[in-house]
Amino acid sequence: MTATPTTGAARRTRLTLAGLAALTLALTACGGESLEENESGGSDGSGDKGSVTVGGASFTEATLMAELYAGVLEEAGYSVSITNVDSRELYEPELENGGIDVVPEYAATLAEFLNTDVNGPDAEPVASADVEPTVAALRELAEPRGLTVLDAGDAAIQNAFAVTEEFATENDLSTLTDLGELGEPIRLAAGEDCPQRPFCEPGLENTYGIDITEIVPLGVGTVQSKQAVERGEAELALVSTTDAVLEDFGLVTLEDDQNLQQADNLVPVLNTDSLGEEQDAIAALKELTATLTTDELREMTRAVVSEREKAEDVAHAYLVERGLVSE
**CATH code for position 126:** 3.40.190.10
For residues 61 and 45, the model is more confident at 61
Based on the fold, state whether residues 68 and 131 are members of the same structural domain. yes
What's the whole-number mean pLDDT along residues 177-190?
A: 98
Range with the poorest average pLDDT among 4-13, 54-63, 174-183, 271-280: 4-13
pLDDT for 57: 86
pLDDT over 80 at 39, yes or no: no
pLDDT over 50 at 4, yes or no: no
Buried b (16+ CB within 10 A) or exposed e, 151-163: ebbebbbbbbbbb
Last residue of a domain, one of 202, 226, 253: 253
What's the whole-number mean pLDDT along residues 40-55?
A: 68
pLDDT for 42: 33
For residue 167, the domain's CATH number is: 3.40.190.120
Based on the fold, state whether residues 173 and 139 are members of the same structural domain. no
pLDDT band at residue 32 using 50, 70 and 90 as cut-offs = very low
Last residue of a domain, one of 253, 286, 307: 253
- Collapsing DSSP states into helix, strand and coil, what is residue 213? strand
CA dist., res. 326 & res. 306, Å (int)? 27
Please state, as a whole number, how many other Cβ atoms lie within 10 Å of the Cβ of residue 230.
18
Based on the fold, state whether residues 118 and 173 are members of the same structural domain. no
Distance spanning both ends of the chain, measured CA to CA: 28
User: What is the total count of domains within the chain?
Assistant: 2
Based on the fold, state whether residues 42 and 181 are members of the same structural domain. no
| Bridge partner list, 105 | 267
* Residue 303 placed within a domain: yes
pLDDT for 87: 83
Based on the fold, state whether residues 68 and 144 are members of the same structural domain. yes
pLDDT for 174: 98
Based on the fold, state whether residues 14 and 62 are members of the same structural domain. yes
Based on the fold, state whether residues 107 and 205 are members of the same structural domain. no
Please state, as a whole number, how many other Cβ atoms lie within 10 Å of the Cβ of residue 189.
28
CA dist., res. 196 & res. 117, Å (int)? 12
pLDDT band at residue 268 using 50, 70 and 90 as cut-offs = very high
pLDDT for 187: 98
Cβ neighbors of 210 (< 8 A, separation 6 or more) are: 176, 179, 180, 186, 204, 236
pLDDT over 50 at 48, yes or no: yes
Based on the fold, state whether residues 104 and 216 are members of the same structural domain. no
Based on the fold, state whether residues 33 and 77 are members of the same structural domain. yes
Cβ neighbors of 188 (< 8 A, separation 6 or more) are: 161, 194, 201, 204, 212, 214, 215, 216, 234, 235, 236, 237, 238
Cβ neighbors of 255 (< 8 A, separation 6 or more) are: 174, 175, 176
Q: 217 with 192: CB under 8 angstroms?
A: yes
Model confidence pLDDT, tens digit, residues 186-235:
999 999 989 988 889 999 999 999 999 999 999 988 999 999 999 999 99
Cβ neighbors of 161 (< 8 A, separation 6 or more) are: 176, 179, 188, 204, 236, 237, 238, 239, 253, 254, 256
Alpha helical stretches, state H, 55-200:
60-75, 88-97, 107-119, 131-142, 165-170, 176-182
Based on the fold, state whether residues 124 and 168 are members of the same structural domain. no
For residues 3 and 170, the model is more confident at 170
Based on the fold, state whether residues 185 and 283 are members of the same structural domain. no
CA dist., res. 325 & res. 327, Å (int)? 7
For residues 68 and 47, the model is more confident at 68
Name which of 58, 219, 59, 61 is nearest 227 in CA terms: 219
DSSP state of 9: G
Based on the fold, state whether residues 175 and 208 are members of the same structural domain. yes
CA dist., res. 167 & res. 91, Å (int)? 37
Last residue of a domain, one of 209, 230, 253: 253
Model confidence pLDDT, tens digit, residues 242-264:
888 899 999 999 999 998 988 99
What does residue 76 show for φ and ψ, rounded to 5 degrees? -80, 0
Mean pLDDT across the chain: 87
pLDDT for 14: 53
pLDDT for 281: 98
Q: Domain containing 218: what range?
A: 159-253
* Residue 3 placed within a domain: no
CA dist., res. 249 & res. 229, Å (int)? 9
Q: 26 with 35: CB under 8 angstroms?
A: no
